[in-house]
Amino acid sequence: MLAKTMWAPSLTSAQLTRVEAEVFSRKIAAGAFVCHKGDPVSHWIGVHEGLLKMSSVSPEGKPVSFAGMANGGWLGEGSLLKSEPRKYDVVALRDSELLYMPKATYLWLLDNSIQFNRFLVTQLNERLALFISLVEYDRMLEPDARVARCLAALFNPYLNPGIGRELQISQEEVGNLSGASRQRANQALQVLEKAGLLKVDYGSITILDLDGLRQFHS
């Protein structure tokens, strides 16, 4: 599993041996919480296979979706660096298998691997760019465009490196990730399909024009 990550191949054999001994996997059922807002952060979490949603609930009870995490993605690096409680909920949108790196291992890699540090700097920069763009989407774009940008955001080579152009995802999952109802997500997907940006099949979406999704306006 670690061989498929972007960062593990850059480690020395001794570093990789320690990481392999201390990282463990866990299967999470669809709909189950991976972690809750306010939880202490004890592990860096990676998605070996599956789909997760990072979200929160406003004081008024309104759910807010932040981002999706797919194959190859890792989460929680910022909270581990700051030793603060988790700032969001993470839910598995489908049956998923996750990797857990203990905090002590994570901090040891920071102290001993320049290559791992370079990976994290790039990942944090990509995460910052993603969240800035999500604020823009929420405040400026109509639902069709929000769905387009949300799907496009999954195809970040650093945040979700294991994802392919044929995405095994349901319309309900698209709605969960974009903060729309299943029906509204379905309408948006039909609009995007007619625009030639993607192809919708039962339980999957094939991306035909990623740049078009990133630039789509209603």
Residue pLDDT, tens place only, 57-90: 777 777 777 788 899 999 999 889 888 888 889 9
Contacts of 148 (CB under 8 A, 6+ apart): 188, 192, 197, 213, 214, 216
pLDDT at 147 over 70: yes
pTM score of the predicted model: 0.79
Compute how many other C-beta atoms are within 10 angstroms of the C-beta atom of residue 214: 15
| Cα 55 from Cα 198, distance rounded (Å) | 26
